[in-house]
């Protein structure tokens, strides 16, 4: 097993900003992820989960993508729990499809 590697806090923050679309330090505009980068991040998370045996907590605005990935999903509306269940079950739920997944 390889040892864990640490990034300096400033480097980690810069990496997070470039990949995560969060506001950059100093008030710069948020970075929008391209579809290829977005898919690449989910591919890396899938490898960590499936091959690395890691448990992940994911907060994702793209409900469809998040629930496709999730073993268990929690859907919050205005900060309150609206639905919970297996990701695939939530994707098939008619209310979820109508309210959050575009049909």
Closest of 98, 95, 71 to residue 82, by C-alpha: 95
Q: Are residues 89 and 100 in the same domain?
A: yes
What is residue 76's predicted lDDT score, i.e. its pLDDT? 85
Give domain status of residue 33, yes or no. yes
- Residue 88: C-alpha distances to residues 17, 22, 78, 95 (Å): 30, 28, 23, 14
What is residue 92's predicted lDDT score, i.e. its pLDDT? 92
**Alpha carbon distance 37, 65 (integer Å):** 14
Give domain status of residue 78, yes or no. yes
Tens-binned pLDDT, residue by residue, of the chain (103 aa): 444 444 445 555 565 555 555 554 554 444 455 677 778 888 888 888 888 888 888 888 788 888 888 899 998 888 899 899 999 999 999 988 888 777 6
Give domain status of residue 1, yes or no. no
3-class state of residue 75 by DSSP: strand
Give domain status of residue 61, yes or no. yes
Q: Which pTM was predicted?
A: 0.59
Residue 24's domain comprises 7-54
Q: Could you give the number of structural domains in the chain?
A: 2
């Amino acid at each position: 097993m390889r040892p864990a590697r640490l990034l300096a806090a400033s480097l980690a923050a810069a990496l997070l900003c470039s990949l995560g679309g969060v506001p950059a330090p100093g008030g710069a505009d948020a970075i929008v992820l391209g579809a290829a980068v977005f898919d690449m991040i989910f591919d890396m998370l899938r490898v960590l989960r499936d091959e690395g045996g890691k448990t992940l907590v994911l907060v994702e605005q793209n409900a469809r993508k998040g629930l496709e990935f999730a073993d268990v999903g929690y859907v919050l509306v205005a900060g309150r729990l609206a639905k919970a269940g297996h990701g695939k079950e939530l994707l098939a739920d008619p209310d979820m499809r109508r309210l959050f997944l575009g049909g």
